């Protein structure tokens, strides 16, 4: 079980011993169990909704020192969330808090192992890991597609295309992160690149609220892998999941 699950459970106040159940439901929702039908996704979401509805009742009766108890208080004392928003917020935080970071860690390790010079660069200078994480976030696609459609609220010019108010757009973040006008030689991984802004966490009001937690987890985990297994290497070609919302390997067989 990847350690991001431990962290998000502790922050939210979700019992860690329930991880096998909610991880399975999360896999159904994200389409990662080989049965990516709408019915399977709906079943997983229904079970997660029931789980968090029950957790709300528990935290309401017996609040603890965790984020979900604080959210319940925001609902009950400040009327800042509806009951449905409270439940759905918990589901979103739990699923997004482990699926994305765990898969990004696996994708990052694969990317570095396929580039021995980059792996060796980080072995030689562990202080370069935080900068390398930003480059990996830029370089490695995490979403398996364009994600949710965006609706234009006004007429706007995008490159050579005129977008009209009300038009639906599919935004490919991985393409923006390979923009040659922003990142020279964007198709190459350069762990010493001064990345600056990238789009992996979104932008504006939709910027990922867990971005700093994700960065910290990736820093700690990647540094630990480099320190403990400097001779890590792939032992078979990597096969990536199909039909999942988040890109990641089916399995990652290595030796060291």
Give the count of domains, the chain.
Answer: 1
* Degrees to nearest 5, angle at CA 242 with 131 and 103: 30
Within-domain flag for 105 = yes
161 domain-assigned:
no
Q: How far apart are CA 252 and CA 113, in angstroms?
A: 11
Q: Is 247:240 a contact under the CB 8 Å cutoff?
A: yes
- How far is the C-alpha of 203 from the C-alpha of 199, rounded, in Å? 7
Range of the domain at 239: 3-142+186-255
Please report whether residue 162 resides in a domain.
Answer: no
pTM: predicted TM-score of the whole model, two decimal places? 0.85
**Rounded Cα distance, 147 and 27, in Å:** 17
Q: Which two tokens stand for residue 245?
A: 């919302």
Residue indicated by tokens 């910027």 = 207
Q: Check which CATH number belongs to the domain holding 236 and give it.
A: 1.10.630.10
Distance CA 202, CA 227 (A): 31
Q: What's the pLDDT tens digit per position in 157-168?
A: 988 899 999 999
Q: Is residue 178 part of a domain?
A: no
Name the residue with tokens 């108890």. 69
Mean pLDDT in consecutive groups of 10 residues from the start of the chain, 256 residues: 71 83 81 67 90 92 90 84 88 84 93 97 97 97 77 91 92 88 95 93 87 94 96 92 82 91
Tens-place pLDDT, residues 11-52: 888 888 887 788 788 878 877 655 557 788 888 899 999 999
Buried b / exposed e along 102-125 (16+ C-beta atoms within 10 A): bbbbbbbbbbbbeeeebbebbeee
C-beta atoms surrounding 157 within 10 Å: 8
């Amino acid at each position: 079980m990847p350690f991001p699950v431990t962290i998000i459970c502790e922050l939210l106040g979700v019992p860690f011993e329930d991880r096998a159940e909610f991880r399975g439901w999360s896999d159904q929702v994200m389409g990662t169990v080989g049965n990516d039908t709408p019915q399977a996704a709906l079943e997983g979401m229904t079970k997660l909704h029931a789980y968090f509805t029950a957790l709300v009742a528990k935290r309401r009766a017996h609040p603890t020192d965790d984020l979900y108890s604080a959210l319940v208080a925001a609902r009950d004392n400040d009327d800042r969330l509806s009951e449905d928003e409270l439940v759905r917020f918990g589901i979103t935080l739990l699923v997004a808090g482990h699926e994305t970071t765990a898969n990004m860690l696996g994708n990052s390790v694969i990317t570095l192992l396929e580039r021995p010079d980059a792996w060796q660069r980080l072995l030689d200078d562990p202080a370069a890991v935080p900068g390398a994480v930003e480059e990996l976030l830029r370089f490695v696609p995490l979403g398996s597609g364009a994600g949710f459609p965006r609706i234009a609220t006004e007429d706007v010019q995008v490159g050579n295309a005129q977008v009209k108010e009300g038009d639906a757009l599919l935004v490919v973040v991985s393409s923006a992160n390979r923009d040659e006008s922003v990142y020279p030689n964007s198709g190459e991984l350069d762990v010493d690149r001064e990345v600056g802004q990238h789009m992996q966490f979104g932008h504006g009001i939709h910027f990922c609220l867990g971005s700093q937690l994700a960065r910290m987890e990736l820093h700690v985990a990647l540094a630990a892998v480099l320190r403990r297994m400097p001779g890590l290497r792939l032992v078979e070609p990597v096969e990536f999941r199909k039909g999942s919302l988040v890109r990641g390997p089916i399995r990652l067989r290595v030796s060291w």
